[in-house]
Structure formats: C-alpha cells, structure tokens
Chains A and B, each alone.
Chain A
C-alpha cells in the first residue's frame, strides 16, 4: 500500500479530479435514492402504516383500485363472518378543505371505524370516536400546514364540516397528507354531490376496500369468490396508489443508469491511468514486484479514490437531505445510505477490475527496449 499511496501523492491532481467525479456520482446516487424513498413514503406511507395483511377490493377493479373500487356492506359482513380473518372497512378519497382560520389544505380522507385495528390513535389531542362522527385526526404534514387541534375544517363545496380532535405521525397518500375520520363521515364526503346541500339521508353503505388481518392459511380465495371481491396483500396494493408505479420506475431507472455509469467512469480512468504507467509497471515487475502485488497496488489506489469519493458523496447527499428534507419528499435513512454507497463502491471497483489483466500482463522486458 506504501507504493500505491506514493503514486497517489505524486499524481494527486489526476486522482483528485477522478475522486471529484466519484464524489458527484455517489452524491447523485444518494440524492436519487433519497428522493426514491422520500417520494415512495409520500405516496404510500399511509398504506404502509395500515396494520393489515390484505385489502379486499371490489372484483373487476384491477388498477387504481382506491379510486375505482367500491365494496358494499354485504361483502364487509361476509368477510367479518369468515374464520381466521378480522375485517374492517376502509374508505380512501382525496378532498380539499378550509379551516376556520382560513388555512386551505388538500387531504387524503381515510375513513375507518374508530377503535378498529386501523385506528391510528393520536400522538396529541384525542383519538377518533364513534361519539363524534365528524371528528378527525390529522397527520403531521397537515399540522405543519397550519391545521390545529380544535380547528374546524369545512370540506369545499360539500357543506360538511369536520372538527380536528387530534394529530398523529407522518402519513400521506399520493403526495397528499392524510386525515383519518370515521367511515360514516368518509361516506358522506365520498358520495356527496358538490354544490348540493347535505342531506340527512344515510349515505350508501359502501367502502373503498375491506382491510383484513388474515391468519396464516386463511382461505381468502374462497371468500373472494363468495363475496365478489379481489384480495391482494397490502404491499401489492401499493401499486394502486396514484403515481406510485410510475415514480418507482422512473427513479429506479435513473439509479440503474448511475450504477452503470459509475463503473464505466472509474474503469475508463484506471484504464487510461494503467496505459500511461505501463513503463512504471514494467519497472516494478523488473524490480521483482509480483503480479499479486501489482493487482493489490492498483485495487488499493482504486479503493482510496472510490472509497474516499463515495464517502464524501454520501456526506454530500446526507447533508442535502438534512437541508431540504423538511421541504421536499426526501428520505435517506442510514441503512439505505450505507447500502447505496456500498453498491457504488462495489460497482466502482468492478470497473477497475476490468483493467487488471492489463496490469498483470505487463512485460518487465519493456525496460530493456526491443532487440537488445
């Protein structure tokens, strides 16, 4: 390693330049990774928080299920009667409202039964209660937007007024902050006609889905057939969240390109570097350096450049996350950062490995010139 470090010092300009490129690639990978996770959280964190194993949608709703699916009360009752399954209704829709302090907000209305297993409780204020059918619990983003416990929130053009009872943690759906409310209130919002005065007639007993806690081995397929529903795991239902699949594909593609670029850039640099120093490598071979030592020497230099550059890139990405994390959907937990940067290091070193043959096949006779 001594020799590798001597060369790094001697050619520090070139290595700093290369290290700078690695810093930028690593930082970009980290930033994209942060946005991938952040956007994902922003889209499905409310679904991820659901303590359910499956969601039963209306049969035939094969895409965009939260908007298209309507499951009736008969199906809910049917699911509740099944053995090995706990079932509770779930309503999901996007609404817009204005508080009594003139704060305008968009919110994802998650209709649930108070005290059911979907009830998120509250971190401040009070939890949902059946005794207060228009009382809601808002997520942190709404609090940040200016909604306070005790405020009233009038749903635009529907004549329905909700009261904020409490607040809970971060929870959003389709980039919109979630407000939890009793499912009866949700039904009124979902089935009301904008601009028409609210009626006292009960709304249709329908829901977006039935949330299930299924014991292992529970025959969900048979229940689906009997009840006219289509069940999928909660994780599979993420794709039903608006924009989730498109975002994932876009961000993952960018990440994949960066993972492809990293070894090419590092490999190209070390290929040129190796070709330039063929005489030095030949001299080292002539002095008795083993092939293994030359390989270690080259990989050592690559490890310093790639490892150092990646560490700085990671710091840059994490720093940016701290700076903008509260303003934009950016999330880069330590484990994700370590995994991402570990991958950058591995693909970077893989790029170097491609030119190792050039290192091991150098001829010490080069030192003598031809024909002497």
Chain B
C-alpha cells in the first residue's frame, strides 16, 4: 500500500473563524515504514491524519491511496475504506463508554463485519501485547488515559489495516510504556508492510521512526492553522 498527498488544502471553520489547516501540502508515505509527523500544535498534523484517513474531504488536491484518490469517494465508500483498510488511533475520546477493554476490540470487529467470536483470541493477544492482559474486563471509565490509548491502538491493529494513522500514542504514558508502544507500532508496520503515520511530539517515537516529516515544511506557505 502507498499513500500520497498532492497539493492538499483544507480549511476549517466558518466565516470569520475560518482557518487554513493545510495549504498545498504534498507528501508521500511508503509501505513498511513508520513515519513520524512532527510540528508544533496547530501545524495541521491531526488534520493531515484526518484527510489521509478519509474522515475529512480536502478543499482541493488529491489523497492517493494505492493510486486511487480517496478524497473523491462517496461518503459510503469512504466509510467502507475506513472499516476495511484504515486503522485510526485518535488522540482522545476514543473508546465506547460502558464497554470493557476486550469488548472495545470486538465491537470494532463487528463494525467491520468480522465475527466477534472468531476475533476474540487475536483481540486478547493484542491487548496482552499492549500490556493490558490483566485489564480485559475493565470498562473504559475504570482505566487511565494511557491504558485507554493502548486499547485504541490494539483496536486499530486488530484488523491488520494497510494504513495505520496514530495521533499522539505516547502522550499519556510513561517512558517505559511509550517505548513498548513504539516498538509494537514499528514491528506491526514492518511485519505487515503497512503505511504507518504517527503524529507526535515525543522523541521516543521520532527516534524509532523510519522517516520524520516536519509539518511546517509541508505547507507551500507557513500559514498553517493556529
């Protein structure tokens, strides 16, 4: 799989609050490579992930996933793409309330049309890999921010996506745990040959990344969202 953004511009908000989040951004992301997306807050990292993840339609430009412009797909096709080929870890608010850690993963499998019962062993294995084997039956509201983030990561990896988009995966975890998460991301990326883009401020991630892309250098001018 390959991901390429060609001259992508995104504006957000309405009227006087309207800001340009991405201005003429072009970038390529290779398969089997973990790319760290760095830049100050408001530089457009999350917006780039949203555009690449078929969550946000750009005002102009192309978002090519395996050569196909996903920005031009219908909402239904974009939804199908998200549930079959894209794994997404959001920075916050990323779990379904009231569900246990294990159920979070099985619910995602169900959304993707995969039988939850068959996916259960892999879900338990992934939760163990992110250090949550002892938290399978804990509800989201009984877990710390870092644990919630790791569940979201395990959920994104469950369906072995071709494109993995991760927003600040280590923001709420200690250094030891952060290293484990980065190791898991790198291993998954290399083993499955997926395109992995991680928005981050964390040097632990940038050190382990195959490529580092500075968001401030991607804009055709420096007028990114503030």
Contacts and interface: CB of A to CB of B under 8 A. Distances in A.
A283 B93 contact: yes
A190 to B, nearest CB: 73
A3 B110 contact: yes
Contacts of B56: 365, 368
B107 A288 contact: no
B111 A367 contact: no
Contacts of B82: 286-288
A360 to B, nearest CB: 10
B111 A284 contact: yes
Contacts of B93: 279, 283, 367
Contacts of B91: 368-369
A271 to B, nearest CB: 18
A290 interface: yes
Main secondary structure of the interface of A (DSSP, over half): helix
B2 interface: no
Contacts of A280: 96-97
Contact of B83 (A288, A368, A369): A288
B33 interface: no
A285 B90 CA distance: 13
B157 to A, nearest CB: 13
Contacts of A284: 96, 111
B98 A371 contact: no
A11 interface: yes
A368 B46 contact: yes
B97 to A, nearest CB: 6
Interface in A1-25: 2-3, 6-7, 10-11
Interface in B53-89: 53, 55-56, 75-76, 79-84, 86, 88
B127 interface: no
A287 B114 CA distance: 13
Contacts of B96: 6-7, 10, 280, 283-284
Nearest to A11: B98
Interface string B90-108: 1111111111000100111
A364 B86 CA distance: 14
Given A2-B106, A283-B94, A286-B90, A293 B55 contact: no
B111 A370 contact: no
A367 B94 contact: yes
A289 interface: yes
Nearest to A14: B98
A284 B83 CA distance: 10
Contacts of B79: 285, 288-291
A286 B56 CA distance: 10
B179 interface: no
A372 interface: yes
Contacts of B6: none
Contacts of B108: 287
Contacts of A293: 111
Contacts of A287: 82-83, 88, 108, 111-112
Interface string A193-215: 00000000000000000000000
Interface in B107-141: 107-108, 110-112, 116, 139
Contact of A10 (B46, B97, B116): B97
Nearest to B53: A286
Given A283-B94, A287-B83, A288-B81, A367 B55 contact: yes
A371 B76 contact: no
Interface string A330-372: 0000000000000000000000000000000000110111111
18 contacts: A2-B116, A3-B110, A7-B98, A10-B98, A10-B99, A280-B96, A280-B97, A283-B90, A286-B53, A288-B111, A288-B112, A364-B55, A365-B50, A367-B90, A368-B90, A371-B12, A371-B225, A372-B225
Given A10-B96, A289-B83, A364-B55, 13 more contacts: A2-B116, A277-B97, A283-B90, A283-B93, A288-B82, A288-B83, A288-B86, A291-B76, A293-B111, A367-B55, A368-B46, A369-B92, A371-B42
